[in-house]
């Protein structure tokens, strides 16, 4: 089992879940629009739609793992 160390913010009114990996890097799941956003320094750097796609918890774990690996690079900058 992978253990992550980040804050997760649930905004039920806007149907989003934000993983704050680093002050400069967030992963946002927008359940209303079926989108996954990667936000760096307040700018959306990647946007993927998962509408009609079998998006699993394993997929989310892979994305968070990649984000945490990228965070290691940000810590050095």
pLDDT along the chain (77 residues), means of 10: 82 95 91 93 94 88 87 72
pLDDT at 36: 94
User: pTM score > 0.85 for this model?
Assistant: no
Give the integer Cα–Cα distance in Å for 45 and 57: 22
pLDDT at 72: 76
Cα 75 to the center of its chain, rounded Å: 18
């Amino acid at each position: 089992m992978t253990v992550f160390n980040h804050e997760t913010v649930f905004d039920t009114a806007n149907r989003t879940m934000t993983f704050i990996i680093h002050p400069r890097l967030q992963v946002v799941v927008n359940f209303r629009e079926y989108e996954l956003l990667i936000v760096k320094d307040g700018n959306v750097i990647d946007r993927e739609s998962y509408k009609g796609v079998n998006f699993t918890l394993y997929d989310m774990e892979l994305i968070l793992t990649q984000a945490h690996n990228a965070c290691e690079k940000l810590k050095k900058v």
